[in-house]
Structure 1
Amino acid sequence: MAEPVWRALEKTCHLATPYQRFDLLGPWQRLVGEHEGAAPFIVIARDAERRPLVVLPLCTRQSHGVTVACFMGGKHTTFNMGLWDADFAVHADAADLDALLAALRGRVDVLALSQQPTRWRDQQNPFAVLPRQNSINGCPLLAMPPDGLPASRISNSFRRRLKSKEKKLQALAGYRYHLATTDNDITRLLDWFFRVKPVRMAEQKLPNVFAEPGVEAFIRAACLAPRGDGRVIDIHALECDEEVIAIFAGVADGRRFSMMFNTYTMSEHARYSPGLILMRNIIDRYAEAGYDALDLGIGSDDYKRLFCKSDEEIFDSFVPLTSRGKLAAMAMSSLSHGKRLVKQNQMLFDLARRLRRAFG
């Protein structure tokens, strides 16, 4: 059984992102992955004394006769990474990785390892030494230096603008910002989210990923799963007695908060930028708790740039393990590179977006 080893490598003395927690990826595999035809493929590497050095939470898919192994989580994980023994990760070199990959040859044809952070917790991702290329999208990042003043996170002028807007909301009975802590609150907020989000996405002519088989059940399971004094996915909300105004949900690990999904009200209260006000509250909350970074997920939406001035460096690796996998790896790499070029060229990106809206 991989679960005990997996959970052991989630401890803070090891190197892993919160997206690779067992209680996040377990429900994803069971409720979403199986619907998508993904089979679990958990790789555990051990030293001579049988001590676990790394867990790779992978799944396999079949495509045109090729077995492809990728990280679990699909569209719902911003970052993908192994769970590493921290000491081993510091010293792991190309020879160690060659030995790890050699054990996989013949079992899969190609590794498609996307959206990997180059570094995590100030330590290099051991897979960064593999052949790699920039991911299709970047991830906007806000660095929050220890003991930094509020203005170092959000400028005073932006704070004043948000405060002016918030005065309208503060007049509402029961207006409040809070982190959902009870099962009842979490369930109530998710009920609202799954009503409102499809409408918001339809307005933007975007596909509703939350309507895909198993996704809602997966998100509910992860949001309700306990983790320390919080949940595997934490939900932050702006509310009044009349309605839920906005929510942001994401994962936290004691040093970084990473946003996963959000939406805001369809009522007239939307005119007062409740999502931005909620984001300001979240940033200040985690900065005051000693967190040193916050990200708003993959993509360069305008609102993200209001808070995040830099980008997390993330990469993809397409590693062939068989002769059949070489062609597949080349095709995946080229496709990913092409999509990135479109994203980086505003004219091409606008054209692609118009075509998607016209034919989606």
Structure 2
Amino acid sequence: MTMAAVIESRTAQAPARRLPSGLARVDIVSDLAAAEPVWRALEVPEHVSTPYQRFDLLGAWQRDVGAREHATPFIVIGRDAEQRPLLLLPLTLRHACGVRIATFMGGKHTTFNMPLMDREFATRASAGDLDVLLAGLRDRGGVDVLALTQQPLHWRDLANPLAQWPHQSSVNDCPVLLMPPGAAPTALLSNSFRKRLKSKEKKLQALPGYRYMVASSDAEIAELLDWFFRTKPVRMAEQRLPNVFAEPGIEAFVRSACMAKLDCGHRAIDIHALRCDAEIIALFAGVADEARFSMMFNTYTLSENARWSPGLILMRSIIDHYAQQDFRALDLGIGSDDYKRMFCKDDEPIFDSFMPLTARGRVAATTMAAVGRAKHAVKHSPALFRLAQQLRGALRARGGAAKVDEKADEKARD
């Protein structure tokens, strides 16, 4: 019997309603297919996970991005004494500066990172359970430090058990819009803001075929992504930002996740757009469960229609769309961009933990924690942040001048 079959068999034999005992055993799986049955069993709404930890999303990332970066799957499965899976940590293993570091799968493309957990275990997990988890990882060997970043303190009103470990605030905040049950549209976005957007939207509504849409068919998704990957590099170049979507494997990962169909009716990544017959005007894409939408990437048209703030209009449409479905929260990803604060007035508390598993890992964990605290201090001090931006701008200008000098030297040599 294959390992995957053994896992599936044990999962199927688990009593449906019996409360789990505490964590008793830790297994490490380095193969996605072998971990998939347990992963999907813990992914269902009856248990606890974020949409960023879905198998279809992280599996695509690992195949198309992680493997190219020489990151290997390091999937931690915690079981009770009767071998029922209680927790799955979807990690990946990297080597850097002679240290073996385990981090959450997904890299910079996941806003929130959490274990997938049996719901009863998540509500009762103790410090003793986490001690068993750490001891199991130390006994298995192969890792010097756990670098577990961007973890929410709570998810769907449940405390994150991993917050019992030593932790610190993440480098960036995550602005969030809370959506109380039955809230009026004007309670989510002010009436004056809505009026300003409505005035701008009148210009777009004059375009033939103007509409808001959520992509549903494969053909719609492919068309929207083709446009996104043509347009986003231009927008990023305008802002003098590196094009992260040009990195090896990223486009394949995004396309695969956007196409993946889930049992809940969503795709692993959902795409919302404003368009007319002549062009796509704006696009926002993100992950959703039955209670929250989290934005991952976006862009807007290069045409004259950009002057009417299509990104803001699209965001208002997305908020109204999910409010009608009784969602409880919406976020636009980490970072303090001005447009995010127009919609999201609260902050989601997120934290990092750097847990050493070996003596060599202790030095690495201390260093990573110190770097994280320094970055957090810069991001949360207007004076330090302005200084960092000025230095970055000076370095870019210096680099550009150096390139000009190199070209002049080449011409002189010619």
Q: TM-score range by the shorter chain?
A: over 0.9
Matched with 1:73 is 106
Matched with 2:46 is 13
Matched with 1:344 is 380
Greater Cα radius of gyration, structure 1 or 2: 2
Q: TM-score, normalised by structure 2?
A: 0.86
Matched with 1:275 is 311
Measured after TM superposition, the shift of residue 352 of structure 1 is 2.1
C-alpha distance in structure 2 between counterparts of 1:91 and 1:181, whole Å:
39
Change (3 A) 1:99 1:291: same
Q: What whole-Å deviation, never above 9, does each CA across 1:93-131 have from its counterpart, x for those lacking one? A: 111001011111122110000000000010001101110
C-alpha distance in structure 2 between counterparts of 1:61 and 1:40, whole Å:
9
User: 1:310-325, aligned counterparts within 5 Å?
Assistant: 310-325=346-361
Measured after TM superposition, the shift of residue 182 of structure 1 is 0.6
Q: What whole-Å deviation, never above 9, does each CA across 1:326-358 have from its counterpart, x for those lacking one? A: 000000000011111111112222232333344
C-alpha distance in structure 2 between counterparts of 1:348 and 1:92, whole Å:
40
Matched with 2:71 is 38
Measured after TM superposition, the shift of residue 151 of structure 1 is 0.9
C-alpha distance in structure 2 between counterparts of 1:99 and 1:230, whole Å:
36
Matched with 2:146 is 111
Matched with 1:133 is 168
User: 1:1-360, aligned counterparts within 5 Å?
Assistant: 1-105=34-138, 106-228=141-263, 229-360=265-396
Measured after TM superposition, the shift of residue 309 of structure 1 is 0.2
Task: Indicate if the aligned counterparts of 2:231 and 2:301 stay in contact, CA closer than 8 A.
Answer: yes
C-alpha distance in structure 2 between counterparts of 1:151 and 1:355, whole Å:
42
Task: Indicate if the aligned counterparts of 1:92 and 1:126 stay in contact, CA closer than 8 A.
Answer: yes
Report the RMSD for the aligned CA atoms in angstroms: 0.8
C-alpha distance in structure 1 between counterparts of 2:94 and 2:251, whole Å:
22
Equivalent residue letter for 2:51: P
C-alpha distance in structure 1 between counterparts of 2:289 and 2:393, whole Å:
37
Task: Indicate if the aligned counterparts of 1:205 and 1:357 stay in contact, CA closer than 8 A.
Answer: no
C-alpha distance in structure 1 between counterparts of 2:394 and 2:226, whole Å:
31
Measured after TM superposition, the shift of residue 169 of structure 1 is 0.3
Larger RCO (alpha carbons 8 Å, 6+ apart): 1
Q: What whole-Å deviation, never above 9, does each CA across 1:204-228 have from its counterpart, x for those lacking one? A: 1111110000000000000001013
Equivalent residue letter for 2:291: R
Q: Which moved more, 1:160-169 or 1:31-40?
A: 31-40
C-alpha distance in structure 2 between counterparts of 1:359 and 1:187, whole Å:
38
SS in 2 for 1:136: coil
Gaps of 5+ in 1: none
C-alpha distance in structure 2 between counterparts of 1:123 and 1:310, whole Å:
18
SS in 2 for 1:81: coil
C-alpha distance in structure 1 between counterparts of 2:194 and 2:346, whole Å:
19
C-alpha distance in structure 2 between counterparts of 1:353 and 1:87, whole Å:
46
Q: What whole-Å deviation, never above 9, does each CA across 1:261-294 have from its counterpart, x for those lacking one? A: 0000011111100000000000000011010100
Q: What whole-Å deviation, never above 9, does each CA across 1:219-250 have from its counterpart, x for those lacking one? A: 00000010132211000000011110000000
